[in-house]
Each structure stands twice: as structure tokens, then as C-alpha cells.
């Protein structure tokens, strides 16, 4: 049976004039209606929104827990398989003579800043501290919480959640998009990655639906990230003297971010990110990403010198070893509620941590994937997969070991005396700085962390706005009309603010888990589509047939 040529043309109708000129109205308008409806619902009926979202989230966690776990395992296995597959690994994301546009440092900086930068500032301290107190081993009675014997288990799960699985999910989306856009000449939009399965049917309603699902998942995934960042940004502003108006105080002395504090933070963050988005990926985003990386290395160097260096480094190397040994078991383990105290506790823990993270990475994947594809043209599949999956994971491990390890060591030794563990999740990094530094130095470092956090928030938000508009414009990477950039900047701010006011970070979390589910099915199809395309291109190469798209202007013979 003769090999059919690959699909190298996917017509997607876009408006030729008017407000939506250059955009696919079916995608752009539908996505705006869905996101707008969510915003209005969360703001107008906050109690109902929180209740309904919570109920839907409970059903999904109970019904699709196996699905989320096995899907993430599939992404990790597929990434390594593609990197090790000789015929696939040598292929470039583009023509054979294409070379990377960005240096390795800029590539990594943009990739890391857009992918996980914000979460690192919150969770590098908070997550090891939480698992240090409670994790599956403590639930099963194998270790005792908040003791030296529980440190290794705390890092197994911290590294599991922020390691290879997270970056594999991003890498698959970015690889599929880069492959079909730069080798096949298809639009840089989610539907293009499914052409080996659905062909030109993706030009119509099916393709529109896939892109809408990707846009909604992106909005919710980025909203989750911005939500954590906003909470920590407010804590940082409070630490550097912006006042108590940033918080609401309950009768029992507990505090939470005030509505005015949330609004102020979102105005600062989304105002700066919208201005950056208007400047494009090659200017504002690249510039901010390089600042992010420089400041990040400064903070890491600070903890390497002034933190619990020996404890942190030993935690890093032992933690990586333990994590690698745990992968075969943890990557396939699913705990379900069985009516026993231990079984129900394990199921609840996994739903609140592992399943939440898998949903977060999946919801974040269309955004990071499109962004990775945009900055990775010219790289080989092997270089791309290993660079996009292993290097950022190791960077996460270093952060967790040096920053989180210092916090654990300060609590174990009694130096912190509960100051870190008793602080809220968003405030633990600042609390740790107050423990290890004098008041003046703690203030100065807190200012630097607030600046770093702001640049990460801006980088993620402006990148998301550009990616959303790229999908809405049928993959057009060119300049977008200012009103659409302004709309999505405002929409992100309102989703974050509306859901936080409706039910705190938990409301964003539940909305994100729900939004990630349909896109998880799209991602599995992307992986299968990629396997099919690479396999058939390998056969075409053996028969001397072309495997890359040639522009009409250079196709004359």
C-alpha cells in the first residue's frame, strides 16, 4: 500500500475584516463567552459557584483518579521513548537546516519562567514542610511526621510532583505542536497536532471545539498559578510594610487576603503583564525571563551560602536517588477510598496533592506547550525532550532541597521554634528569611523576593495572553489587536479575583481540575498522533519521500 503524503495544509477560516480580523470567530467568541460566564457566576453567585464547583470536583477526583495517574505515566514513558528512538530523536522541529533562534540560556530561562517559576517561590518551602509533617508513609504508620526519619519521604513526594511528570506533560504538547507546525507547515494551534488522526476534518467544528477546550484549560491553569502568586505577593507586600489593609482578620486571629489586597495585587500584576504582552515574545517576555533567571540564581546562591547548606545538598542528592527509585511504583499507584481509616486518608491525600498537581500541569500544558513550541524551532526532538524535561526538573529539585531543606533543618534544630511551620503557605518563605537574617537584611531579601515574584507573575501572565490569542487566531504568531490582548489580560485578572473571592484558592483549584479533564483526552490523542506521524515519516524517509513542508515560493522545479 503506497504511503500517503502527510497533511501539510489545514484551512481554518478567520475573519477578514472587523473587530475579529485575523481571528477564528468560532473559537475566540465561544472561549470569551465561556470564560465570561464563569467570571459573572463566580462574582454574582459566589456561594453557589463554590458549592457546585466543589461537588463537581469531588466526582471527578473519585471517578477519574486512575485516569489522571495513568495519563501522566503515559507522558513520561512517551517522552523517554521518543528521545531514545534513533529515527525520532534526530529529527528537527523544522527543516534539516533550521537552527534554534534563542541561546540555550534564554531558551531555558523563558521555559522555566513560564512553566513553573511562580510555584517554586511558594512551594519550594511549603511543600517539603507539609510532607515533612504528613505524607503516605506517615498515614500508613511507616514514619513519624515532623521528625528526621520523615525527611526522605517528604522529598520523594515533593520531587514526584515537581519532577519529570510535570515537564513531560508540557514537553508532549510543545513537541506535537512544534513537529506539525515547523515540519508540516500547519498552524501553531492545538488542533494541528491531531491531523494524523482526524485529517482535514479539523478545519471545522471539531477543530474549533478542541481549540476552545485548550483556551479554557489555559485560562484556568494560569489562574491557578496566578492565584498562588497573588497570595504570596500580598504576603510579601505586608512583610515590606504595605500595611494591614492587605488582610482581613477573623475573630480567632487568623487572616486571609482582603478584597482590596487582591484587587491591588491584580492591578499591578496584570497591568505590567499586559504592557509586556503588547511588546511580544522577543522583547518584553525575553527580557523579563532573563531577569527572572538572574534573580533566581541570586536567591539560590544566598541559600547555598547562608542556608543549611550541608543539609540541603545531602537532601538534594539523596532525594534524587530516592525519587528515581520510587518512580516505577509511584507513577502507577492509585489509592481509592475503601471505607478504612488508612485507605480513606491515602485517597484524600492523593486527591489533594498528586491528582491536583496532575490536573494543574495538564491545564497549564496548552499554554506552556504552545510557548515551548514557539521558542524551540530548529532543535532536534532528542535535544528538545531532554532539555525541556530533565533540566527544569533538576532546577526544581535544587530549589526544593536548598530552600525547603533550610526550612526543615531550622525546625528540626529548634532554631525556628515553629515560626515557619506556623506561618501560612504563602508566608513561609518570608518567615524563614526573618528567622535566619537580621531585621534589616530580612527586609531587603523580602523586597528582592517580591520583585522576583512579580517578574515571574508578569512573565506567566503576559505569555498566557499571547498564547491564548495565538490559538484564537488559528496559530498566527504575528501581532494581535490591542483590544484582544487587553480583554484576556482583564479576563485572567477577573477569573483569579472572582474565584478567590468566591471560595479562596480552593475555588480556583476545583475549577482548574474540572477544566483540565477534557484537555487531558486531547493530550493523549496528541501523543498517539505524534507516534503515528513520526513512524510514518520514518517510512517515508526510507522511500526517499519528503517529510517536511516546502513553501510554494521555493517549490519550483
Report the candidate in 272, 281, 266, 265 with the shortest Cα–Cα distance to residue 458: 272
Percentage of the chain with pLDDT > 90? Answer: 38
Integer Cα distance of 408 and 410 in angstroms: 5
At 139-178, the pLDDT tens digits run: 999 999 999 999 999 999 999 999 999 899 999 999 999 9
Reading phi first (left if > 0) and then psi (alpha if -120 to 50, else beta), residue 476 is in: beta
Cell, residue 310: 550541608
Per-residue pLDDT tens over the stretch 184-232: 889 989 999 999 999 989 999 999 999 999 999 888 888 888 888 888 8
How do residues 446-474 score in pLDDT, each as one tens digit?
999 998 888 888 877 777 888 888 889 88
Kindly write down the DSSP assignment for every residue of 199-248, as one continuous string: GGGGGSHHHHHHHHHHHHHHHHHHHHHHHHHHHHHHHHHHHTT--GGGEE
Residue 515 has a pLDDT of: 84
The C-alpha cell at 417 is 521554634
* 50: pLDDT strictly greater than 80: no
Predicted structure pTM score:
0.90
Q: Which H or E run contains 255?
A: strand 255-257
Q: What is the mean pLDDT of residues 25-52?
A: 86
Give 15's strand partners. 21
Q: Which of 204, 205, 207 is nearest to 193 (CA)?
A: 207
Burial environment of residue 410 by CB neighbours within 10 A (0 to 12, 13 to 18, 19 or more): buried
Q: What is the DSSP letter of 191?
A: G
Q: Could you tell me the three cell numbers for 388?
A: 525541556
- Give the pLDDT confidence of 328-353 residue by residue, as tens digits: 888 899 998 888 999 999 999 998 89
Three-state SS at 15 = strand
> Distance between CA atoms of 309 and 109, rounded to whole angstroms?
25
Q: What is the pLDDT of residue 550?
A: 64
Architecture category of domain 71-549 in CATH: Up-down Bundle (1.20)
Determine the number of helices (DSSP H) and then strands (DSSP E) in the chain.
Answer: 21, 2
Residue 431 near residue 419, CB atoms below 8 Å:
yes
Q: Which three cell numbers stand for residue 120?
A: 517554586
Amino acid at each position: 500500500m503506497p504511503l500517503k503524503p502527510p497533511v501539510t495544509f489545514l484551512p481554518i477560516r478567520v475573519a477578514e475584516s472587523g473587530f475579529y480580523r485575523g481571528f477564528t470567530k468560532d473559537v475566540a467568541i465561544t472561549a470569551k463567552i465561556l470564560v465570561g460566564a464563569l467570571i459573572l457566576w463566580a462574582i454574582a453567585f459566589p456561594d453557589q459557584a463554590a458549592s457546585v464547583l466543589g461537588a463537581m470536583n469531588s466526582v471527578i477526583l473519585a471517578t477519574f483518579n486512575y485516569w489522571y495517574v495513568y495519563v501522566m505515566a503515559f507522558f513520561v514513558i512517551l517522552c523517554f521513548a521518543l528521545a531514545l528512538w534513533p529515527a525520532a530523536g534526530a529529527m528537527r522541529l523544522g527543516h534539516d537546516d533550521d537552527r534554534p533562534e534563542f541561546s540555550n540560556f534564554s531558551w531555558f530561562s523563558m521555559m522555566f519562567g513560564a512553566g513553573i517559576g511562580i510555584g517554586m517561590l511558594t512551594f519550594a518551602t511549603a511543600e517539603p514542610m507539609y510532607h515533612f509533617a504528613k505524607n503516605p508513609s506517615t498515614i500508613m504508620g511507616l514514619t513519624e511526621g515532623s521528625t528526621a526519619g520523615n525527611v526522605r519521604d517528604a522529598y520523594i513526594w515533593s520531587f514526584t510532583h515537581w519532577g519529570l511528570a510535570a515537564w513531560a506533560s508540557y514537553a508532549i504538547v510543545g513537541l506535537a505542536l512544534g513537529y506539525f507546525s515547523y515540519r508540516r507547515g500547519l498552524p501553531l494551534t492545538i488542533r494541528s497536532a491531531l491531523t494524523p488522526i482526524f485529517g482535514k476534518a479539523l478545519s471545522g467544528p471539531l477543530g474549533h471545539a478542541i481549540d476552545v477546550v485548550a483556551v479554557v484549560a489555559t485560562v484556568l491553569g494560569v489562574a491557578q498559578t496566578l492565584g498562588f502568586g497573588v497570595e504570596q505577593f500580598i504576603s510579601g507586600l505586608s512583610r515590606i510594610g504595605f500595611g494591614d489593609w492587605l488582610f482581613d482578620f477573623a475573630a480567632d486571629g487568623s487572616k486571609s487576603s482582603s478584597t482590596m489586597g487582591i484587587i491591588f495585587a491584580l492591578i499591578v500584576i496584570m497591568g505590567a503583564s499586559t504592557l509586556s504582552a503588547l511588546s511580544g515574545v522577543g522583547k518584553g517576555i525575553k527580557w523579563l525571563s532573563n531577569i527572572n533567571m538572574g534573580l533566581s540564581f541570586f536567591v539560590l546562591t544566598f541559600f547555598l551560602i547562608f542556608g543549611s547548606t550541608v543539609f540541603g545538598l545531602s537532601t538534594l542528592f539523596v532525594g534524587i536517588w530516592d525519587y528515581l527509585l520510587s518512580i516505577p511504583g509511584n507513577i502507577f499507584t492509585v489509592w481509592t477510598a475503601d471505607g478504612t481509616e488508612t485507605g480513606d486518608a491515602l485517597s484524600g491525600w492523593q486527591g489533594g496533592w498528586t491528582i491536583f498537581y496532575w490536573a494543574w500541569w495538564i491545564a497549564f500544558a496548552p499554554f506552556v506547550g504552545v510557548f515551548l513550541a514557539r521558542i524551540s524551532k530548529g532543535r532536534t526532538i532528542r535535544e528538545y525532550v531532554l532539555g525541556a524535561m530533565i533540566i527544569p526538573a533538576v532546577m526544581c529539585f535544587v530549589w526544593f532541597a536548598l530552600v525547603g531543606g533550610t526550612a526543615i533543618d531550622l525546625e528540626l534544630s529548634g532554631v525556628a521554634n515553629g515560626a515557619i511551620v506556623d506561618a501560612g503557605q504563602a508566608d513561609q518563605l518570608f518567615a524563614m528569611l526573618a528567622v535566619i537574617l537580621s531585621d534589616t537584611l530580612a527586609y531587603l531579601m523580602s523586597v528582592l523576593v517580591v520583585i522576583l515574584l512579580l517578574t515571574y507573575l508578569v512573565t506567566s501572565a503576559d505569555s498566557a495572553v499571547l498564547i491564548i490569542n495565538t490559538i484564537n487566531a488559528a496559530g498566527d504568531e504575528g501581532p494581535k489587536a490591542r483590544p484582544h490582548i487587553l480583554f484576556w489580560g482583564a479576563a485572567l485578572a477577573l477569573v483569579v479575583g472572582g474565584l478567590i473571592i468566591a471560595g479562596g484558592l480552593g475555588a480556583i483549584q476545583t475549577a482548574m481540575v474540572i477544566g483540565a479533564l477534557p484537555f487531558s483526552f486531547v493530550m493523549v490523542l496528541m501523543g498517539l498522533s505524534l507516534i503515528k506521524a513520526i513512524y510514518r515519516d520514518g517510512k517515508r524517509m526510507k522511500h526517499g519521500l519528503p517529510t517536511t513542508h516546502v513553501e510554494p515560493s521555493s517549490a519550483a522545479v
